[in-house]
Amino acid sequence: MSERLSPDHKRAMGQAAQAALAYREGHDTRPARPDISLDAAVARFAGPLAEGGQPAQDVIAHIVRDAEPGIHPMTAPTFFAYVCGASHPVGVAADFLVSAWGQNAASSTESPSVTGMERAVCNWVLDLLDLPRDSGVGIVTGASVANFSGVLAARHVLLKTQGWDAEEEGLFGAPPFPVLLGADAHSATTAALRYSGIGAGKVMRVATDGEGRMRVDALRSALERCEVPPLVILQAGQINTGAFDPFDELIPMIRAKGGWVHVDGAFGLWVRAVPELAGRLRGVELADSWAVDLHKWLNAPFDAGMVIVRDRAALVAAMAARGAYLPDGTEHWEPSDSTPELSRRARGVPSYAILRHLGRDGVRELVRRHCELADRIATGLRALPGAKVMNDVHCNQVALTLGDGAQGDALINRVLERVQARGKVYPSHGAWRGRQIIRISVVGYAMMERHADLLVQEIAAALAAEG
């Protein structure tokens, strides 16, 4: 085989790049949700694998033709569902290179440029979020793995203080430590407790206020019941309300108990990047570890997130596959010493490109704009008959109910279905404080006032159609 690309492979790569461009330029002309059902989409790709292969360009042409109707326009500024970033174009462009280069990002010596860019990303994010600059950082697939990794670092330290080596001895027979979690924590944190062998059922749930923030008095009494230093998982950005736990009050109490504070800041931690909004998370910098996504508010292409651990040695002790090993404290660190994966793609590189493209000002503008748009949407929705915005707008999340009780819940579900079927915008469902809600998240890099206004108009129109 020649060292050069075959004409077929070359055409396939060019075709994919062209199709990617056409797709991203076509958002205005396509509905805001997939055109075909799951069954129809599955049928397009089902069937036995053929004995003979197909030319690469035919394969790519087939994928473009048959997949596009079932591709959800999550990159469009009309996608308000869940909390999904919109894959910023400069990140996508860099991601093309990541795939083409095919670097195994595990080794700094084997792929020095990737390590260079990923270290820059780690340093820039620590700086933007104003977290301890010499923290250990692992670039992982997202906040789920970041939470898991943070919990493993905490497990290492909390068991070590009780004289137990978690990595070597495992958890059979280990001395227990208490785990405290807010009543409105994201399911990813309970998943982290399952995976880490701590057990989701061992958790003490701590009561929250109307916005989903951990209550100070509730934490105080929970801490009083802790006989050994606990793991406490706090939250920056509740999924329905966007609320932040009162870190400056909670963390010193946990510290006084010798506990470990982990913060799930999947999207909300980015509010720290905006000086005039950073006070909403006052004290979050006092924690021991943080999970934050790159593929949500920073709009990195999926999938990318970070685990940040103040004591780098604790992260490395929990992650390094080579067993008892401590970092030498110099600038030199191996990417694979900070993540559960060994082989992995260079998933930090798209974020390098996005941060360099936006600069500090651009990141601030992005987060600030989204918070302003969420306010604008909430104001617009409050004017609709029977509508109630359940949350204070802490950042970029809006939780809408209609009417009262079961009738109101049925109404909002019908309205949401109608909004989605109209195909102009796409918010999602949710449940909050016993009510069905339309959950709105402002996170796509291209969202502007006109998209926010369109969302409000579409909900108004769907509500009007109910009569």
Provide the binding-site residues for ligand PLP, judged by CB under 6 A: 83, 142-144, 186, 188, 237, 239, 264, 266-267, 293, 305
Least separation in angstroms between CB 267 and ligand PLP: 5
Question: Residue 78 class from Cβ within 10 Å (0-12 exposed, 13-18 middle, 19+ buried)?
Answer: buried
Q: State the minimum distance, in angstroms, from the CB of residue 8 to ligand PLP.
A: 36
Q: Edge-to-edge strand order for the sheet containing 387-389? A: 387-389, 397-402, 435-441, 428-432
Nearest residue (CB) to ligand PLP, 16 versus 367? 367
Residue number, 239 or 387, with CB nearest to ligand PLP? 239
Cα–Cα nearest to 268, from 204, 205, 211: 211
* Closest approach of ligand PLP to the CB of residue 445, in Å: 17
Strands (E), 80-154: 136-140
**Contact assessment for residue 106 and residue 112, using Cβ atoms and an 8 Å cutoff:** no
Nearest-approach distance from CB 243 to ligand PLP, in angstroms: 11
Smallest separation (angstroms) from ligand PLP to the CB of 432: 14
Neighbouring CB atoms inside 10 A of 202's CB total 11
Cα(286)–Cα(284) distance, integer angstroms: 5
Write the burial class of residue 408 (CB in 10 Å: 0-12 exposed, 13-18 middle, 19+ buried).
middle
Q: Which is nearer to ligand PLP, 131 or 269 (CB)?
A: 269
Nearer to ligand PLP among residue 229 and residue 242 (C-beta): 242
| Closest approach of ligand PLP to the CB of residue 198, in Å | 17
Rounded distance, CA 278 to CA 297, Å? 15
DSSP string, 32-81: SS-SS-HHHHHHHH-SPPPSS---HHHHHHHHHHHHGGG---TTSTTB-S
The residue (of 76 and 143) whose beta carbon lies closer to ligand PLP is 143
**Shortest spacing between CB 388 and ligand PLP, in angstroms:** 23
Nearer to ligand PLP by Cβ, of 211 and 293: the residue is 293
**CB nearest ligand PLP: which residue?**
142
Contact 115, 105 (CB under 8 A): yes
Length of the chain: 467
Please identify, using beta-carbon distances, which residue of 73 and 305 lies nearer to ligand PLP: 305
